[in-house]
A and B are shown apart, each in its own frame.
Chain A
Amino acid sequence: MVELTFDPAEARAAEKPQDPRRASLGRLILTDRFFKLLTRAAAAFVLLILFGVIFTLVEGSIPALREFGPGFVWTEDWNPVKERFGALAPIYGTLVTSIIAMLVAVPIGLGIAIFLTELCPIWLRRPIGTAIELLAGIPSIIYGIWGLFIFAPFLQQYVQPFLISTLGNVPGIGWLFAGPPYGIGILTAGLILAIMVLPFIASITRDVFETVPPVLKESAYGLGATTWEVVWKVVLPYTRAGVIGGIMLALGRALGETMAVTFIIGNAHRISGSILQPGTTISASIANEFVEALQVLHTSSLMSLGLILFVITFIVLAAARLLLASLNKRAGG
């Protein structure tokens, strides 16, 4: 008696050699599936980088955080010999240099963007715009070496004595400009950061300004508005989210910037009221000490600094991206 069974796999196998077309189609489908999986894995890899960074930093920070607890964040000590570490001075330096950079670079960057979109003759717009974008790509170590050899001596000789003798005597803010002119220090680092993020702010805000529909500007001009009124009452309100997003993106850069600052901050682990004195930032501390750190606690404290820096910049950059995305959505819809 013949058993009547039907095995689909066997049937397919039996069918295949008779139908080369189906076989090659099957191969194509398999390859396609493989390729799709491969690309998906690569996309997931980007997420893996992020988790890897967070995991490594947290894991490296554990010894320091176990030893010092949350007090690590608000302790000023930094003494590798006694193995006492606290993050306050680098955090303070990072924030103050970035604030100085933003105070200087934002108005100038916006000025450049306004100049490029409203005032500059058309034939000059592309060359200047391109030059600014190229400058945004210059590595930070170039700004660092320039700051160390040219800018800091210049400040020390001409600008800082002037600041000390004038603003240094103003009651209320005099303490900001106290002490001898070192050249290097918090103020110099802030100014170099400002010069560094300037092309960045200028080119982003210019791009954002260009998303304003010409009709809006033309109708304002048509009603007799001056250029300034168009900028202030039409362009800026329309692009507010994008401009703030661009500024925060630049802030993210300034906070994490390493080489330009390391050259000229002076690397002193202390908080001085005067912005003319040397200080340190998170990234400068890591760059200077990590290779030489011998004790576990020292290395781990530097890792904790890296973790703090990453968390701060992550928040700032995420906020910046969300703001820029909201502008894009409006421009698209």
Chain B
Amino acid sequence: MDRGLYRRRILRNRFHMTMAVATAVFGLTWLVLILAMLLIKGIAGLNLAVFTEMTPPPGSSGGLLNAIVGSLILTTLGVLIGTPIAILAGTYMAEYGRHSKLTDVVRFINDILLSAPSIVIGLFVYGIMVRPMGYFSGIAGSVALAILVVPVVVRTTEDMLLLVPSQMREAAAALGAPRWHVIRYVSYRAAKTGIITGILLAIARISGETAPLLFTALNNQFWSTSLLAPMPSLPVVIFQFALSPYEDWQRLAWTGALLITIAVLTLSIVARLLSSKRTV
């Protein structure tokens, strides 16, 4: 028996496994550090004024009310525009066109759009909406966010519909139901939680997006709910305030960052709980 060989192998194994544990601890430490700092800095600036007052001019105190409302409007509209298209597209891919060429192409392109740089989407919407209209607007921001919603929801809708057992569709078809009845009353119902999970994930994704809003919705220091005017949003305000030299603004930026993170984490956790309860 070659004892040296065994020793070497054991030592090498021990070395690499220690490295794996060390890297895991190291990597997770940074992520914990970020969340911890965010909590400390964010809570320090958290008070009622944040939710009741407008974003302040430089050097004075205020809140984030207009930015929060702006973000809610932009996100809601983005989801309302993007989701129906995406669900229909996912339906085609999983139901009517399951084996068609178009489905393969769309799936491939959709997967690429899923991780395409969001700033490029901002440029795209600037080109098709802001430039022709002549001004920055909330509606342009919503369209930019909607384009980010589409790939996420297409992907989950298709995946969830594909999980619905074919026997259920066949049973409905055997009763004489036309295809769209089968989809509406059988497939959609069976895949409902999954599709909702996808929508929640899409909301989580766009609620922190900054880059596509920079030159579509722009920003607005005042209260504005007009879709045809520049609209403030939490991420863009954070961006502007964090890079400013004013301490009040920086404090608000941290608080805003905390609010966004809480929103995103809550959405992701709810989505997770829903999908773990999924029966399909």
B108 on the A face (CB < 8 A): yes
Taking CB atoms and an 8 Å cut-off, the chain B residues in 150-186 that contact chain A are 150-151, 154, 178-181, 183
Distance to closest chain A CB from B98 (angstroms): 12
In the assembly, what is the distance between CA of A189 and CA of B13, in Å? Answer: 34
With contact pairs A46-B110, A128-B28 given, residues A291 and B103 touching in the complex (Cβ less than 8 Å) = no
Q: Residue-by-residue, is A306-333 near B (CB-CB < 8 Å gives 1, otherwise 0)? A: 1001100110011001000000000000
In the assembly, what is the distance between CA of A306 and CA of B119, in Å? Answer: 8
What residues of A have a CB within 8 angstroms of the CB of B180 in the complex? 31-32, 35-36
A23 on the B face (CB < 8 A): no
B1 on the A face (CB < 8 A): no
Report how many residues on chain B are interfacial, defined by Cβ distance under 8 Å: 90
What residues of A have a CB within 8 angstroms of the CB of B111 in the complex? 317, 321
Tell me the nearest residue of chain B to A143, going by C-beta: B34
What residues of A have a CB within 8 angstroms of the CB of B151 in the complex? 46
Q: Of the 9-residue stretches B47-55, B189-197, B261-269, which lies at the interface with chain A?
A: B261-269
What residues of A have a CB within 8 angstroms of the CB of B113 in the complex? 46, 49-50
Chain A CB within 10 Å, residue with most, of B115, B179, B257? B115
With contact pairs A195-B34, A226-B9 given, residues A45 and B95 touching in the complex (Cβ less than 8 Å) = no
Taking CB atoms and an 8 Å cut-off, the chain A residues in 99-122 that contact chain B are 107-112, 114-116, 118-119
Cβ 8 A contact of B179, one of A32, A42, A107:
A32
What residues of B have a CB within 8 angstroms of the CB of A108 in the complex? 23, 26-27
Distance to closest chain A CB from B227 (angstroms): 19
B147 on the A face (CB < 8 A): yes
A40 on the B face (CB < 8 A): yes
The A interface is mostly helix, strand or loop, or mixed, namely helix
Interchain CB contact under 8 A, B106 and A43: yes
Tell me the nearest residue of chain A to B121, going by C-beta: A53
What residues of B have a CB within 8 angstroms of the CB of A112 in the complex? 20, 23-24, 27-28
Interchain CB contact under 8 A, B22 and A47: no
Interchain CB contact under 8 A, B92 and A115: no
A89 on the B face (CB < 8 A): no
A15 on the B face (CB < 8 A): no
Distance to closest chain A CB from B203 (angstroms): 11
Interchain CB contact under 8 A, A313 and B116: yes
B228 on the A face (CB < 8 A): no
In the assembly, what is the distance between CA of A128 and CA of B21, in Å? Answer: 13
What residues of B have a CB within 8 angstroms of the CB of A41 in the complex? 88
Interchain CB contact under 8 A, B218 and A39: no
Interchain CB contact under 8 A, B123 and A290: yes
A87 on the B face (CB < 8 A): no
Taking CB atoms and an 8 Å cut-off, the chain B residues in 27-48 that contact chain A are 27-28, 30-31, 34, 37-38, 41
What residues of B have a CB within 8 angstroms of the CB of A119 in the complex? 17, 20-21
Interchain CB contact under 8 A, B178 and A199: no
Interchain CB contact under 8 A, B97 and A40: yes
With contact pairs A137-B205, A263-B243 given, residues A111 and B23 touching in the complex (Cβ less than 8 Å) = yes
With contact pairs A47-B106, A321-B112 given, residues A306 and B123 touching in the complex (Cβ less than 8 Å) = yes
In the assembly, what is the distance between CA of A2 and CA of B227, in Å? Answer: 68
A76 on the B face (CB < 8 A): no
A residues at B contact (CB < 8 Å):
28-29, 31-32, 35-36, 38-47, 49-50, 52-53, 56-57, 59-60, 107-112, 114-116, 118-119, 128, 130-135, 137-146, 148-150, 195, 198-199, 202, 226-229, 231-232, 249, 252-253, 255-259, 262-263, 283, 286-287, 290-291, 302-303, 306, 309-310, 313-314, 317-318, 321
Instruction: Write 13 A-B pairs (CB below 8 A) sorted by A numbering.
Output: A40-B102, A42-B86, A46-B109, A53-B116, A112-B28, A115-B20, A134-B268, A139-B208, A142-B257, A144-B239, A226-B12, A229-B13, A252-B115
